A and B are shown apart, each in its own frame.
Chain A
Amino acid sequence: MRATAASALGREAWARRLPLLPAFVYVFLVTQIPFVLTIYYSFFSWNLLKPGSFRFAGLENYGSIFTSESIRIAVWNTVLLTISVIGISVVLGLGVAMILNSEVFGKGLMRTLMIAPFLIMPTAGALIWKDTLLNPLFGLLPYLLSPFGLGRVDWVNQYPMVTVVTVEVWRWTPFMMLIILAGLQSQNPEVLEAARVDGANAIQSFRRITLPLVRPFIELGALLGSLFVVQTFDSIFMLTFGGPGEDTTNIPFLLYLVAFQGFSIGEASAIGVVAVIITTIVATLALRTLFSIFQIEARR
Chain B
Amino acid sequence: MRPKLLKSALGWLVVFVFFFPVLWMWLEALKTEPQAASSPPTIFFAPTLEEFQTVLSGDFPPYFINSAIASILSTFLVVALGLPAAYALAIRPVKRSRDVLFFFISTRFLPFAASLVPLYLLARDLHLLDNIFALALIYTTINLPLGVWLLRSFLLEIPHDLFEAARVDGAQFRHEILRIVVPLIAPGIAATSLICLIFSWNEFFYAVNFTSSEAATAPLFLVSFISGRGLFYAKLAAAATLASLPVLLAGWIAQKQLIRGLTMGAVK
A120 & B111 in contact (Cβ 8 Å cutoff): no
Which size bracket describes the interface of B in this complex?
A: 35 or more
A195 to B97, CA, bound (A): 43
Name which of B48-56, B101-109, B182-190 contacts chain A.
B101-109
B148 & A34 in contact (Cβ 8 Å cutoff): no
A34 & B114 in contact (Cβ 8 Å cutoff): yes
Closest to B205 in A: A233
A179 & B262 in contact (Cβ 8 Å cutoff): yes
Q: With a CB–CB cut-off of 8 A, which chain B residues contact A102?
A: 7
A275 to B114, CA, bound (A): 7
A7 to B172, CA, bound (A): 19
A128 & B251 in contact (Cβ 8 Å cutoff): no
B168 at the interface (CB under 8 A from A): no
Closest to B264 in A: A290
A119 to B18, CA, bound (A): 12
A132 & B24 in contact (Cβ 8 Å cutoff): yes
A133 & B104 in contact (Cβ 8 Å cutoff): no
Name which of A17-25, A65-73, A203-211 contacts chain B.
A17-25
**Which residues 247-267 of B have a CB within 8 angstroms of A?**
247-248, 251-252, 255, 258-259, 262-264, 266-267
B117 & A234 in contact (Cβ 8 Å cutoff): no
A237 to B61, CA, bound (A): 23
Q: With a CB–CB cut-off of 8 A, which chain A residues contact B118?
A: 33-35, 37-38, 41
A3 to B19, CA, bound (A): 68
Interface size on A, residues (CB 8 A): 102
Closest to B101 in A: A298
A103 to B243, CA, bound (A): 35
A24 to B141, CA, bound (A): 11
**Which residues 122-176 of A have a CB within 8 angstroms of B?**
122-125, 127-129, 131-133, 137-140, 143, 170, 173-175
Given contacts A23-B148, A27-B144, A114-B18, A230 and B111 within 8 Å (CB-CB): yes
Q: In the complex, what's the smallest C-beta–C-beta distance from B44 to chain A, in angstroms?
A: 14
Closest to A115 in B: B251
B244 at the interface (CB under 8 A from A): yes
A79 at the interface (CB under 8 A from B): no
A283 at the interface (CB under 8 A from B): yes
A290 & B266 in contact (Cβ 8 Å cutoff): yes
B113 & A19 in contact (Cβ 8 Å cutoff): no
A251 & B21 in contact (Cβ 8 Å cutoff): no
A276 & B81 in contact (Cβ 8 Å cutoff): no
A96 to B11, CA, bound (A): 7
A120 & B244 in contact (Cβ 8 Å cutoff): yes
B113 & A297 in contact (Cβ 8 Å cutoff): no
Tell which of B244, B263, B268 touches A124, judged by Cβ atoms closer than 8 Å: B244
A121 to B239, CA, bound (A): 11
B19 & A114 in contact (Cβ 8 Å cutoff): yes
Closest to A182 in B: B267
B8 & A287 in contact (Cβ 8 Å cutoff): no
A275 to B110, CA, bound (A): 9
Give B contacts to A, CB under 8 Å: 4, 7-8, 10-12, 14-15, 18-19, 21-22, 24-25, 28, 36-41, 81-82, 84-85, 87-89, 92-95, 98, 100, 102-107, 109-122, 137-138, 140-141, 144-145, 148, 153, 156, 173, 198, 201-202, 204-205, 208-209, 218-219, 222-223, 225-226, 233, 236-237, 239-241, 243-244, 247-248, 251-252, 255, 258-259, 262-264, 266-268
A-B pairs with beta carbons under 8 Å apart, 22 shown: A18-B88, A23-B85, A26-B141, A35-B118, A38-B113, A103-B7, A111-B255, A113-B19, A115-B251, A116-B248, A120-B22, A121-B202, A121-B244, A170-B18, A217-B267, A234-B219, A237-B208, A259-B116, A268-B116, A275-B113, A276-B110, A276-B113
Seed contacts A38-B118, A129-B21; 18 additional CB < 8 Å A-B pairs: A22-B85, A99-B11, A104-B8, A115-B251, A117-B21, A121-B218, A123-B202, A123-B223, A128-B21, A131-B236, A132-B237, A234-B204, A234-B219, A252-B111, A252-B205, A272-B115, A275-B114, A276-B110
